[in-house]
Amino acid sequence: MSKVTFFRGQQLPLEMHKVRIIQKLTLLPVEQRLEAIRAAGHNTFLLQNADVFLDMLTDSGVNAMSQEQQAAMFRADDAYAGSATYTRLYDKLVEVFGMEYFLPAHQGRAAENILGQVLVRPDTAVAMNYHFTTSKQHVVVHGAEVLELIHPDGLKVTSDHPFKGNMDTDALRAVIAERGAEGLSFVRMEAGTNLIGGQPFSLDNLTEVSQICHEHDIPLVLDASLLADNLYFMKIRDPRCVDLEIPAIVKAMADLCDIIYFSARKLGFGRGGGICIRDEAMYKRMRGFVPMFEGFLTYGGMSVREMEAITVGLDETLDFDMINQGPQFIAYMVNELDRRGVPVITPPGGLGAHVDAMRFLDHVDQRQYPAAALASAVFLASGVRGMERGTMSEARDINTGVEPLAHMELVRLALPRRVFTLSQVNYAIDRIDWLYQNRHLVGGMRWVEEPEILRFFYGRLEPIGDWTTRLVEQFRADFGDSL
Ligand SMILES: *Cc1c(COP(=O)(O)O)cnc(C)c1O
């Protein structure tokens, strides 16, 4: 089962790997961190990685590879068509998911582009447990609507529900009764729901969703990008899964779905993506879009080296010792922050720790982007780069100019898989704790430059007032000449 050590009464996660290749890091003094975040328009996406100490922006394409993955990359068969590397990846996917057809794509959103082109009909809806930024965009762009049918506990910041990623199946039935089955282009279940804290769904929930879909002939699509984390939680929390081996859990999930797509920037510790399809006719409808947008059918925009790495990475995803490190480190980080009173999403999920900026900065108006302010403040306090997941990540209505306020104001501190050590995690916890003690110093933000599309990626902000300077002064006063 789950491997943990006990150290003076505290549960510590135990790494089941050792580090044999390293990358040197720099920790800039706080004054230089202030210069860096100013130059980046107070948007952590615009920071130079060289100015970042611990990069907790994302888990996408930055997970550590194993020696087996790196070794496999050397035998990559560089052929435009019919590469043996592709065959190895294809065979592995058939073994893991049991679906006969596969279309490669350069990353997850490219798979979503193809699904959108083929499956989404205008004036219909796509029901989801919860949206992801790119998956929503590829529905909306075809004139359809996204319906989020997340279990009510999914949107509660603190909860002890073990499966906050479950879909509300009564709501799904109600939507079908109201709109008819033809009113839904497909149903999408996202493993390890990204935007609400990496929360899993249960096997029973997926089973029920699948029964409803198949009763009404609605395709069920699984977004398996964050499958590894969902599997970990199923294995330790789901009564139906505790006695199953990981490959059997994956098979049970796959058998319930018609299509499985993924970003291999997360699943498989590589860089790429693709779509597994059960039905031949569906495969043929989608196939033409691969050479049109991605590349030939045997690489789909991926390098052969990455495909080799993903093939091995998929095997590692089926190894409990390999997938438990991420969620166990995250649980440690969340529990330690929680113990210090820092508001975080509970229970701990996959992907990272999610700090609740609405409560952390309860004196900052939601229209002044508390999550964006907190992301800047965390960087100032620590050199840790997190990601705003709040109102800044929403889109202003192009016609009315109205800005929707996000359900949650979060700063996500992602833990890329197998990358950080426990002392680095402890450092981050300590600096965030300091920031929490000094939270009254942190103020709001306003736009300097607000792009119309996906503004959170490259928009620029400034602090309201001089709070960043005052925070740096307080840091110096408290930390002396330490960095
Ligand atoms: C990252 C992600 C995607 C998009 O994948 P990219 O490889 O970044 O294009 C889709 N769905 C989920 C759940 C993701 O986490």
Q: Residue 143 maps to which CATH number? A: 3.40.640.10
Residue 313 and residue 334 share a domain: no
Closest CA to 63 of 333, 267, 263, 231: 267
- Ligand 1 geometric centre to CA of 121 (Å): 22
* pLDDT score at 73: 97
- pLDDT reported for residue 328: 92
- Over the stretch 196-240, which tens digit does the pLDDT of each residue have? 889 999 999 999 999 999 999 999 999 999 999 999 999 999 999
For residues 280 and 368, membership in a common domain is answered with no
Helix (H) / strand (E) containing 276: strand 273-277
- Average pLDDT (102-106) is 98
Same domain, 342 and 226: no
Q: Nearest residue CA, atom 10 of ligand 1?
A: 108
303 & 335 share domain: no
Residues 6+ apart with CB under 8 A from 205: 151, 163, 166, 167, 169
Q: Whose CA is nearest to atom 12 of ligand 1?
A: 225
Which numbered atom of ligand 1 lies nearest the CA of 109?
9
299: pLDDT confidence band, cut at 50, 70 and 90?
Answer: very high
Q: Which residues are catalytic?
A: 80, 132-133, 223, 266, 389, 456
pLDDT, residue 11, reads: 75
Distance CA 408, CA 157 (A): 8
Q: Is the pLDDT of residue 153 over 80?
A: yes
Tell me which of 112, 133, 265 to substitute to probe ligand 1's pocket, judged by most ligand atoms within 8 Å of the beta carbon: 265
State how beta strands 384-385 and 259-263 pair: unpaired
Ligand 1, closest atom to CA 58?
1
The alpha carbons of the chain give a radius of gyration, in whole angstroms, of 22
Residues 7 and 44 occupy one common structural domain = yes
- How far, in Å, is the centroid of ligand 1 from the Cα of 393? 15
User: For position 390, which CATH number holds?
Assistant: 3.90.1150.10
Task: Identify the residues whose C-beta falls under 6 Å from ligand 1.
Answer: 60, 107-109, 132, 134-135, 190, 194, 223, 225-226, 263, 265-266, 273
Q: Is the pLDDT of residue 7 over 90?
A: no
Domain boundary among 258, 285, 319: 319
Distance 263 CA to ligand 1 centre (A): 5
Which residue reads 């309201």 in tokens? 464
Do 218 and 107 lie in a common domain?
yes
Residue-level pLDDT at 6: 53
Please give the average per-residue pLDDT across 333-341, as a whole number. Answer: 97
In Å, what is the CA distance from 459 to each residue of 58, 173, 364, 395? 18, 40, 20, 12
Residues 329 and 286 in one domain: no
- Residue 384 to residue 392: CA distance in whole angstroms: 19
> What's residue 4's pLDDT?
57
Looking from the CA of residue 190, the nearest atom of ligand 1 is 13
Q: Indicate which atom in ligand 1 lies nearest the CA of residue 265.
A: 7
Domain co-membership, 315 together with 360: no
Residue 200: both structure tokens together = 């899993």
Over residues 84-97, the mean pLDDT reads 98
Tell which wins on pLDDT, 399 or 380.
380
How many domains is the chain built from?
2
Question: For residue 113, how far is its CA from the centre of ligand 1 (angstroms)?
Answer: 12
Residue 10: pLDDT band with limits 50, 70, 90? low
Range 112-137 average pLDDT:
96
Q: Comparing 4 with 104, which gets the higher pLDDT?
A: 104
To test the pocket of ligand 1, the residue of 128, 134, 135, 189 to mutate (highest count of ligand atoms within 8 Å of its CB) is 134
pLDDT band at 453 (very low <50, low <70, confident <90, very high): confident
Mean pLDDT over each residue of the chain, to the nearest integer: 95
Q: How far apart are the first and last CA of the chain?
A: 40
Ligand 1 centroid to residue 109 C-alpha, Å:
6
Pairing of strands 184-190, 125-128: parallel
Pinpoint the alpha helices (H) of 268-324. Answer: 280-287, 289-293, 304-317, 320-323
Q: Which atom of ligand 1 is nearest to the CA of 273?
A: 7
Confidence (pTM): 0.94
Answer whether 276's CB lies under 8 Å from 259's CB. yes
**Do residue 144 and residue 285 come from a single domain?**
yes
Q: Which of 299, 319, 339 is the last residue of a domain?
A: 319
Rounded to the nearest whole angstrom, what is the distance from the C-alpha of residue 436 to the centroid of ligand 1?
Answer: 31
Q: Which of 263, 296, 319 is the last residue of a domain?
A: 319
Residues 91 and 138 in one domain: yes
Residues 404 and 466 in one domain: yes
Average pLDDT, integer, range 326-343: 95
Structural domain that includes position 116 = 67-319
Could you tell me the distance, in angstroms and rounded to a whole number, from the CA of residue 243 to the centre of ligand 1? 30
Residue 50 shares a structural domain with residue 21: yes
> Above 80 in pLDDT, residue 248?
yes
Residues 125, 130, 132, 138: what is their CA dihedral angle, to the nearest 10 degrees? -10
